[in-house]
Amino acid sequence: MGFRLSKIYTRTGDSGETGLADGRRVPKDHPRIEAMGEVDSLNSQLGLLLAELAEQEAMWPGLSELIEVLAPCQHRLFDLGGELAMPEYKALAQPEISRLEAAIDLWNEELGPLENFILPGGSRLVAQAHLCRSLARSAERRCQQLSAVEPLEGVGLAYLNRLSDLLFVAARLIGRRQNIQEILWQAASKPDA
């Protein structure tokens, strides 16, 4: 594969526009650019989660399974970014969604049903997984906003939805594998009438 970037700065975006892979120039706050940015933010935070999982897997060997399932998601998010940058390009397919669903089902069997609302936290890894989950939801919303203006084809929206579900279950599984109790939500006391 040849060089993708021969020059990091081009000065072509200094006026508030950026170029898409199909040659169009759009404002940097265009819904397509917003969607691409949210997917990129998610991918960056997922990279941090994976790095922290790798650092901790010697102490908690059960974390290696999470790395195996989540690592390909970074590549698929990059594929989704490509689809957003090049609307004619399609890289994601239904089998990838099925892969996420299989992992969700397997991990949920180990976890059992969720009986209470839980809060992000308990350990840095659990909190980071929840941060990734919330960013997946944000990326999904940005892609949905784009789709309302320029309809998206393919499975990108479904992929983001399923990925956020996977990250929620991953956060719970990380806590279980680290022997950390989930932080249960405690409702505020009822105000006096």
Please name the helix (run of DSSP H) or strand (run of DSSP E) that holds residue 118, with its range, or none. Answer: strand 118-119
Tens of pLDDT, residue by residue over 30-47, are 899 999 999 999 999 999
Domain membership flag for residue 1: no
**Structure tokens that stand for 66 in this block:** 């999470």
Q: Is the per-residue pLDDT at 2 higher than 90?
A: no
pLDDT of residue 55: 95
pLDDT of residue 22: 75
Q: Is the per-residue pLDDT at 18 higher than 50?
A: yes
CATH of the domain at 132: 1.20.1200.10
pLDDT of residue 5: 52
Average predicted confidence (pLDDT) for the chain: 90
Rounded CA-CA distance 126/131 in Å is 9
pLDDT of residue 14: 57
Q: Is the per-residue pLDDT at 7 higher than 60?
A: no
Computed on alpha carbons and rounded to an integer, the radius of gyration of the chain in Å comes to: 19
Domain membership flag for residue 2: no
Domain membership flag for residue 193: no
Q: What is the mean predicted confidence (pLDDT) over 95-99?
A: 97
Domain membership flag for residue 189: no
Q: What is the mean predicted confidence (pLDDT) over 146-165?
A: 95
* Count of residues in the chain: 193
pLDDT of residue 13: 54
Tens of pLDDT, residue by residue over 67-82, are 999 999 999 999 999 9
Number of domains in the chain: 1
Q: Residue 1's pLDDT band (boundaries 50, 70, 90)?
A: very low
Q: Please name which of 126, 110, 112 lies closest in space to residue 175, comparing C-alpha atoms.
A: 126
pLDDT of residue 9: 53
Domain membership flag for residue 164: yes
* Residue 157 structural domain: 26-184
